[in-house]
Structure 1
């Protein structure tokens, strides 16, 4: 058996799969989005963790025999969010989400500071991405920024709570604007433009790689063995893999909290002037183009 965890904006969903891909059971926990000011969108990472534990407990209760046979966990989730951890690994402030639009001024600043941004990251600087959010924190919450030891994306915060590992994958990391998307690795100059270094961002493992195993205490809580957790992918890339959109030329249209057109490519094809996103796919040696509209 295998376990999938998808950290969405409105719900965390967990999925129990048989080895042949048959869905054995599902469960979920809903979330709300906090909007303390116009154009802001935040959630508390602890709510994600507690919601995930609750969903997994419900799944275990409904399918105890199958749940006990789980031998691996995959992660997907909302992209571009920023979870800021201090030196003690505690969350410093609510997570700033992908649909938070407060950092328009910081986008202009980032473009000025990083003249190679478009060529390397393959995207225009937009408030939805992670990098402008960190510039906003640096300018408006300098004490929080100074205390930031690590920036994690939402699904990778769940990974950290599950395994203790601070790891992401190329599809999610490409949505930060810190990745050289062609090389599938961080660019030091893009990080420096936000006042950050590699020591403050998660390691990048390909989506099919094991990133760690369940911490002993977490395994006991869940009623599982210390099984592996793989890198996984951002929500759109993972969803594309799930429906078989994996070969160059394959494409899909997804309608949800946002509308997404997703097309697989065999290489990095940046065209930022068109406002089409160019990201790494969740599979090794594969990329994709994506157009998004908020509903």
Structure 2
């Protein structure tokens, strides 16, 4: 048996699977992030540990026999977070999360430094880890002077489990400290950010074994002694492992809190200026690229909050038929935007709002606006040479067939919807654990899910959605001018 942990910003999920990858059971625990100032997003790493304890305890209670046969465990987690540890391993301040934009000044400065984009393969976004440490150095110098190690969120959980400070390529690629093509820390990038190699965790591939679960923790949690802790993956790389997106041409579109269009790549082919992320994959010798929309289902959740209706009720009110975009348009820049703008300051909203518009009209505009943002990401990916011919549709928003059809029309690509069952980051982490412990070939373990249905673009509407997308793109300079 194997366990995959999916560490998110709102909770953690523990998935128990058999050696053949078939899920046995799962449990969740939830927590919240803090926002002490505009643009800030933080979390106490102790909440992650508490969440893992709770989810694992519930899994043990539900499946005691299988739980007692676990051989390996791996963690997938949200990227870019900065957990600062002193020489004793004590957390120095709350973790600065991926969606925190306070370090936009430091990010711009690092991004302009000679060679940074060439080595990292990426723009230095405000959400990345390196500018966060530069911000701490400038605004919290006493804390910065005590930093002995910097670890990423999922790696803090692995440290808690194993007592070993380690990371892996897919997560490290989002720090702006990694030579993404060379798959190693870069002394040039570290120096540009005012950091040292000895402050970095040891690097593994995602299938690498970090060490063993601490005996005391194994006894406390009711796990066998000798469970191997495998390096795991960043959340999107783990999701790619969960849906079998490993090789050139494989990819998915995720309608989650943030939106992602991801394409697996057989080689390192960065185009930093496109604002596409080029990261190491969690499996050796492979990379992936993705465009990111910061507020995807978050945009729908925002509308639900201000209308007093749930997201499912809002989308249900649209009915089954998808129609051409209207004059009401929504720009999902509620937290700034990554791809293709790299703009932490721009803000979104509605245009063309009329006294005759109602909640369904606004809902439709929100879904269209997010779909147009995903189309921006696809265009940016294609500029790097990635050219997926079909994509898996995953994430909570993919439960809305209306939204998936709208997205298929916008991207002008068939979208495959997986059958009900287990896939995603928790399964990807469990699959990495299987490969790490058994030495199995990832391509044999990380297979694609069964497809329940394929949603094809509606040829009668593709042109109208292309026109809507062009109008959406043309509005960005005007929104930028309003900052």
Fold-level similarity (TM above 0.5): yes
Q: Is 1:185 matched up with 2:184?
A: yes
Q: Is 1:46 matched up with 2:43?
A: no
Structure 1 equivalent of residue 397 of structure 2: none
Structure 1 equivalent of residue 298 of structure 2: none
Aligned with 1:232: secondary structure? strand
Structure 1 equivalent of residue 12 of structure 2: 12
Spell out, residue by residue over 1:212-266, the C-alpha distance to the aligned partner (whole angstroms, 9 max, x if none). 1011111111111221011111000011011110111111111111000110111
Rg larger in structure: 2
**Cα-Cα RMSD:** 0.8
Structure 2 equivalent of residue 35 of structure 1: 35
Q: Is 1:209 matched up with 2:204?
A: no
Structure 2 equivalent of residue 254 of structure 1: 254
Residues in 2 aligned to 1:93 and 1:13: alpha-carbon distance in whole angstroms:
25
Structure 1 equivalent of residue 193 of structure 2: 194
Structure 1 equivalent of residue 170 of structure 2: 171
- Please list every run of 5 or more consecutive structure 1 residues that lacks an aligned counterpart in the other structure: none
Structure 1 ranges of 4+ moved more than 6 A: none
Residues in 2 aligned to 1:252 and 1:17: alpha-carbon distance in whole angstroms:
23
Q: Is 1:95 matched up with 2:95?
A: yes
Spell out, residue by residue over 1:53-75, the C-alpha distance to the aligned partner (whole angstroms, 9 max, x if none). 11100100011011001110011
Structure 2 equivalent of residue 238 of structure 1: 238
- Please list every run of 5 or more consecutive structure 2 residues that lacks an aligned counterpart in the other structure: 296-483
Structure 1 equivalent of residue 124 of structure 2: 125
Residues in 1 aligned to 2:164 and 2:115: alpha-carbon distance in whole angstroms:
31
Aligned with 1:5: secondary structure? strand
Aligned with 2:134: secondary structure? helix
Alignment of 1:76-91 (within 5 A): 76-91=76-91
Tell me the CA shift for residue 268 of structure 1.
1.0
Structure 2 equivalent of residue 267 of structure 1: 267
Aligned with 1:147: secondary structure? coil
Residues in 1 aligned to 2:212 and 2:122: alpha-carbon distance in whole angstroms:
34
Structure 1 equivalent of residue 137 of structure 2: 138
Residues in 1 aligned to 2:187 and 2:31: alpha-carbon distance in whole angstroms:
35
Tell me the CA shift for residue 195 of structure 1.
1.4
Structure 1 equivalent of residue 68 of structure 2: 68
Q: Is 1:287 matched up with 2:260?
A: no
Spell out, residue by residue over 1:173-219, the C-alpha distance to the aligned partner (whole angstroms, 9 max, x if none). 00000000000001001111121111101111001110110111111
Tell me the CA shift for residue 111 of structure 1.
2.4
Structure 1 equivalent of residue 394 of structure 2: none
Structure 2 equivalent of residue 147 of structure 1: 146
Structure 1 equivalent of residue 228 of structure 2: 228
Aligned with 2:87: secondary structure? coil
- TM-score normalised per structure 2: 0.60
Residues in 1 aligned to 2:214 and 2:49: alpha-carbon distance in whole angstroms:
14
Aligned with 2:269: secondary structure? coil
Aligned with 1:6: secondary structure? strand
Residues in 2 aligned to 1:139 and 1:209: alpha-carbon distance in whole angstroms:
36
Residues in 2 aligned to 1:158 and 1:45: alpha-carbon distance in whole angstroms:
8
Structure 1 equivalent of residue 278 of structure 2: 278
Tell me the CA shift for residue 23 of structure 1.
1.0
Spell out, residue by residue over 1:30-85, the C-alpha distance to the aligned partner (whole angstroms, 9 max, x if none). 11110000000000001100110111001000110110011100111000000000
- TM-score normalised per structure 1: 0.98
Residues in 1 aligned to 2:174 and 2:265: alpha-carbon distance in whole angstroms:
17
Residues in 2 aligned to 1:72 and 1:94: alpha-carbon distance in whole angstroms:
29
Structure 1 equivalent of residue 109 of structure 2: 109
Q: Which moved more, 1:40-49 or 1:222-231?
A: 222-231
Residues in 2 aligned to 1:162 and 1:12: alpha-carbon distance in whole angstroms:
15
Tell me the CA shift for residue 89 of structure 1.
0.4
Residues in 2 aligned to 1:203 and 1:52: alpha-carbon distance in whole angstroms:
23
Tell me the CA shift for residue 19 of structure 1.
1.4
Aligned with 2:173: secondary structure? helix
Residues in 2 aligned to 1:123 and 1:246: alpha-carbon distance in whole angstroms:
21
Residues in 1 aligned to 2:116 and 2:227: alpha-carbon distance in whole angstroms:
39
